[in-house]
Amino acid sequence: MFRFSFSVIGLFLMLPLWAQTVTVQKQTAKIRSEEATGFGTELTGRKEAIADAWSRFLKDIGKTKVTGGEYQPITEPVVDGTVYEEAILYATINGTDEKTKVWLGLLEGEWKVNDIEIVNKELEQMVYRFGVKFYRDQIQLQIDEAERAVEAVEKQAQRLASESKTLSSKLTNNEQQKVQLQNALKENELEHLVLEQKIINNKKSQDSLAQTTLQVKKMVEIHKERQRKVN
Protein backbone atom coordinates (compact mmCIF):
# COMPACT_ATOMS: atom_id res chain seq x y z
CA MET A 1 0.00 0.00 0.00
CA PHE A 2 2.71 2.48 1.03
CA ARG A 3 4.98 1.58 -1.89
CA PHE A 4 2.08 2.15 -4.31
CA SER A 5 1.18 5.52 -2.77
CA PHE A 6 4.78 6.74 -2.81
CA SER A 7 5.14 5.75 -6.47
CA VAL A 8 2.04 7.79 -7.34
CA ILE A 9 3.35 10.80 -5.39
CA GLY A 10 6.68 10.44 -7.18
CA LEU A 11 4.86 10.48 -10.51
CA PHE A 12 3.15 13.77 -9.66
CA LEU A 13 6.41 15.34 -8.47
CA MET A 14 7.95 14.58 -11.86
CA LEU A 15 5.26 16.56 -13.69
CA PRO A 16 5.79 20.27 -14.41
CA LEU A 17 4.16 22.42 -11.75
CA TRP A 18 3.84 25.51 -13.93
CA ALA A 19 1.35 26.31 -16.66
CA GLN A 20 2.80 26.39 -20.17
CA THR A 21 2.45 29.63 -22.12
CA VAL A 22 1.99 29.64 -25.88
CA THR A 23 3.96 32.37 -27.65
CA VAL A 24 3.39 32.84 -31.38
CA GLN A 25 5.94 34.70 -33.49
CA LYS A 26 5.78 35.96 -37.03
CA GLN A 27 8.38 34.10 -39.07
CA THR A 28 9.37 33.90 -42.72
CA ALA A 29 10.50 30.79 -44.59
CA LYS A 30 11.95 29.87 -47.96
CA ILE A 31 9.63 27.74 -50.11
CA ARG A 32 10.81 27.00 -53.64
CA SER A 33 13.22 29.93 -53.36
CA GLU A 34 10.36 32.27 -52.48
CA GLU A 35 9.84 33.98 -49.17
CA ALA A 36 6.72 32.79 -47.32
CA THR A 37 5.17 34.60 -44.42
CA GLY A 38 3.67 32.79 -41.49
CA PHE A 39 3.59 32.16 -37.78
CA GLY A 40 5.32 29.63 -35.58
CA THR A 41 5.40 28.54 -31.98
CA GLU A 42 7.79 26.37 -29.99
CA LEU A 43 6.18 23.75 -27.79
CA THR A 44 7.54 21.63 -24.98
CA GLY A 45 6.79 17.95 -25.27
CA ARG A 46 7.59 14.76 -27.13
CA LYS A 47 8.07 15.48 -30.82
CA GLU A 48 6.03 12.39 -31.72
CA ALA A 49 3.04 13.58 -29.71
CA ILE A 50 3.26 17.11 -31.14
CA ALA A 51 3.62 15.73 -34.68
CA ASP A 52 0.51 13.55 -34.29
CA ALA A 53 -1.51 16.48 -32.97
CA TRP A 54 -0.17 18.79 -35.70
CA SER A 55 -1.11 16.27 -38.41
CA ARG A 56 -4.69 16.04 -37.11
CA PHE A 57 -4.88 19.82 -36.88
CA LEU A 58 -3.76 20.28 -40.50
CA LYS A 59 -6.27 17.72 -41.77
CA ASP A 60 -9.04 19.72 -40.10
CA ILE A 61 -8.16 22.90 -41.99
CA GLY A 62 -7.69 21.50 -45.48
CA LYS A 63 -6.46 18.75 -47.79
CA THR A 64 -2.96 17.70 -46.84
CA LYS A 65 -0.44 16.21 -49.21
CA VAL A 66 2.73 14.32 -48.42
CA THR A 67 5.40 15.65 -50.79
CA GLY A 68 8.55 14.50 -49.05
CA GLY A 69 9.71 18.10 -48.75
CA GLU A 70 10.26 20.16 -45.65
CA TYR A 71 7.02 22.08 -46.10
CA GLN A 72 3.67 20.31 -46.43
CA PRO A 73 1.09 21.96 -48.71
CA ILE A 74 -2.54 22.27 -47.59
CA THR A 75 -4.95 22.83 -50.44
CA GLU A 76 -8.48 24.27 -50.19
CA PRO A 77 -7.75 25.57 -46.67
CA VAL A 78 -10.55 26.64 -44.37
CA VAL A 79 -9.65 29.86 -42.56
CA ASP A 80 -12.15 31.39 -40.14
CA GLY A 81 -14.94 29.39 -41.76
CA THR A 82 -14.08 30.47 -45.32
CA VAL A 83 -12.89 27.91 -47.86
CA TYR A 84 -10.16 29.25 -50.17
CA GLU A 85 -10.40 26.81 -53.05
CA GLU A 86 -7.60 28.28 -55.16
CA ALA A 87 -5.14 29.02 -52.35
CA ILE A 88 -2.53 26.96 -50.52
CA LEU A 89 -1.15 27.02 -46.99
CA TYR A 90 2.19 25.51 -45.99
CA ALA A 91 3.09 23.82 -42.74
CA THR A 92 6.22 22.39 -41.20
CA ILE A 93 7.41 20.88 -37.94
CA ASN A 94 10.91 20.29 -36.58
CA GLY A 95 12.69 19.94 -33.28
CA THR A 96 13.64 17.41 -30.64
CA ASP A 97 11.89 15.48 -27.89
CA GLU A 98 12.37 18.53 -25.64
CA LYS A 99 11.37 21.42 -27.92
CA THR A 100 9.42 21.24 -31.16
CA LYS A 101 8.50 24.16 -33.43
CA VAL A 102 5.47 24.21 -35.73
CA TRP A 103 4.96 26.77 -38.46
CA LEU A 104 2.01 27.67 -40.69
CA GLY A 105 2.23 30.19 -43.51
CA LEU A 106 1.60 31.13 -47.14
CA LEU A 107 3.17 32.44 -50.30
CA GLU A 108 1.53 35.79 -50.95
CA GLY A 109 1.72 35.25 -54.71
CA GLU A 110 -0.72 32.34 -54.39
CA TRP A 111 -3.36 34.45 -52.62
CA LYS A 112 -5.59 37.32 -53.57
CA VAL A 113 -4.24 40.59 -52.26
CA ASN A 114 -7.46 41.38 -50.37
CA ASP A 115 -7.31 38.07 -48.51
CA ILE A 116 -3.67 38.12 -47.37
CA GLU A 117 -4.01 40.46 -44.38
CA ILE A 118 -7.17 38.78 -43.12
CA VAL A 119 -5.72 35.28 -43.49
CA ASN A 120 -2.40 36.24 -41.87
CA LYS A 121 -4.20 37.50 -38.76
CA GLU A 122 -6.21 34.31 -38.59
CA LEU A 123 -3.13 32.11 -39.11
CA GLU A 124 -1.58 33.61 -36.01
CA GLN A 125 -4.68 32.72 -34.01
CA MET A 126 -4.82 29.22 -35.54
CA VAL A 127 -1.25 28.48 -34.49
CA TYR A 128 -1.96 29.91 -31.05
CA ARG A 129 -5.12 27.81 -30.65
CA PHE A 130 -3.21 24.72 -31.73
CA GLY A 131 -0.55 25.30 -29.08
CA VAL A 132 -3.13 25.92 -26.36
CA LYS A 133 -5.13 22.84 -27.35
CA PHE A 134 -2.02 20.67 -27.43
CA TYR A 135 -0.98 21.70 -23.92
CA ARG A 136 -4.51 21.31 -22.59
CA ASP A 137 -4.83 17.87 -24.18
CA GLN A 138 -1.50 16.80 -22.67
CA ILE A 139 -2.57 18.06 -19.26
CA GLN A 140 -5.88 16.23 -19.68
CA LEU A 141 -3.92 13.01 -20.26
CA GLN A 142 -2.08 13.69 -17.01
CA ILE A 143 -5.39 14.41 -15.28
CA ASP A 144 -6.83 11.14 -16.60
CA GLU A 145 -3.75 9.26 -15.43
CA ALA A 146 -3.90 10.93 -12.01
CA GLU A 147 -7.61 10.13 -11.70
CA ARG A 148 -6.91 6.50 -12.58
CA ALA A 149 -4.21 6.49 -9.91
CA VAL A 150 -6.65 7.99 -7.38
CA GLU A 151 -9.25 5.37 -8.34
CA ALA A 152 -6.68 2.59 -7.93
CA VAL A 153 -5.63 3.92 -4.51
CA GLU A 154 -9.25 4.25 -3.40
CA LYS A 155 -10.02 0.69 -4.55
CA GLN A 156 -6.99 -0.57 -2.68
CA ALA A 157 -8.09 1.37 0.41
CA GLN A 158 -11.57 -0.17 0.11
CA ARG A 159 -10.07 -3.64 -0.20
CA LEU A 160 -7.91 -3.05 2.87
CA ALA A 161 -10.89 -1.68 4.83
CA SER A 162 -12.95 -4.73 3.86
CA GLU A 163 -10.06 -7.00 4.76
CA SER A 164 -9.72 -5.23 8.10
CA LYS A 165 -13.40 -5.87 8.90
CA THR A 166 -13.04 -9.54 7.93
CA LEU A 167 -9.90 -9.94 10.04
CA SER A 168 -11.55 -8.21 13.02
CA SER A 169 -14.55 -10.54 12.72
CA LYS A 170 -12.28 -13.58 12.53
CA LEU A 171 -10.31 -12.34 15.54
CA THR A 172 -13.53 -11.94 17.54
CA ASN A 173 -14.63 -15.46 16.58
CA ASN A 174 -11.19 -16.78 17.44
CA GLU A 175 -11.28 -15.13 20.88
CA GLN A 176 -14.74 -16.59 21.51
CA GLN A 177 -13.54 -20.03 20.49
CA LYS A 178 -10.53 -19.60 22.74
CA VAL A 179 -12.78 -18.85 25.71
CA GLN A 180 -14.97 -21.82 24.86
CA LEU A 181 -11.94 -24.07 24.56
CA GLN A 182 -10.52 -22.80 27.85
CA ASN A 183 -13.85 -23.46 29.56
CA ALA A 184 -14.05 -26.88 27.91
CA LEU A 185 -10.49 -27.61 29.09
CA LYS A 186 -11.39 -26.69 32.66
CA GLU A 187 -14.48 -28.88 32.45
CA ASN A 188 -12.35 -31.66 30.99
CA GLU A 189 -9.83 -31.39 33.83
CA LEU A 190 -12.62 -31.51 36.41
CA GLU A 191 -14.25 -34.45 34.66
CA HIS A 192 -10.85 -36.16 34.59
CA LEU A 193 -10.49 -35.80 38.36
CA VAL A 194 -14.05 -37.01 38.94
CA LEU A 195 -13.50 -40.05 36.74
CA GLU A 196 -10.24 -40.89 38.52
CA GLN A 197 -12.01 -40.69 41.86
CA LYS A 198 -14.88 -42.84 40.62
CA ILE A 199 -12.38 -45.44 39.42
CA ILE A 200 -10.77 -45.45 42.87
CA ASN A 201 -14.17 -45.74 44.55
CA ASN A 202 -15.17 -48.49 42.13
CA LYS A 203 -12.00 -50.45 42.96
CA LYS A 204 -12.72 -50.10 46.67
CA SER A 205 -16.28 -51.24 46.11
CA GLN A 206 -15.07 -54.26 44.13
CA ASP A 207 -12.61 -55.19 46.87
CA SER A 208 -15.28 -54.84 49.53
CA LEU A 209 -17.73 -56.91 47.51
CA ALA A 210 -15.13 -59.60 47.00
CA GLN A 211 -14.67 -59.86 50.79
CA THR A 212 -18.42 -60.01 51.30
CA THR A 213 -18.69 -62.73 48.65
CA LEU A 214 -16.09 -64.86 50.47
CA GLN A 215 -17.92 -64.45 53.76
CA VAL A 216 -21.25 -65.40 52.18
CA LYS A 217 -19.67 -68.48 50.55
CA LYS A 218 -18.26 -69.51 53.93
CA MET A 219 -21.71 -69.14 55.44
CA VAL A 220 -23.16 -71.31 52.68
CA GLU A 221 -20.63 -74.03 53.41
CA ILE A 222 -21.40 -73.81 57.11
CA HIS A 223 -25.11 -74.21 56.42
CA LYS A 224 -24.47 -77.15 54.10
CA GLU A 225 -22.36 -78.80 56.77
CA ARG A 226 -25.09 -78.35 59.32
CA GLN A 227 -27.55 -79.82 56.85
CA ARG A 228 -25.45 -82.94 56.41
CA LYS A 229 -25.25 -83.50 60.15
CA VAL A 230 -29.00 -83.66 60.53
CA ASN A 231 -30.07 -87.40 61.21
Mean pLDDT over 154-183 rounds to 96
How large is the angle between the packed helices 2-14 and 113-228, nearest 10 degrees? 170
Total-model pTM: 0.69
Q: Which is higher by pLDDT, 78 or 4?
A: 78
What span, in angstroms and rounded, lies between the C-alpha atoms of 27 and 33? 16
What span, in angstroms and rounded, lies between the C-alpha atoms of 8 and 3? 9
* pLDDT at res. 97: 76
What span, in angstroms and rounded, lies between the C-alpha atoms of 191 and 199? 12
pLDDT band at 50 (very low <50, low <70, confident <90, very high): very high
Q: Is the pLDDT assigned to residue 139 strictly greater than 70?
A: yes
Q: Which of 162, 141, 160 is nearest to 4 (CA)?
A: 160
Phi-psi region of 33 (alpha: psi -120 to 50; beta: other; left: phi over 0): left
Question: Which residues make beta-bridge pairs with 92?
Answer: 103
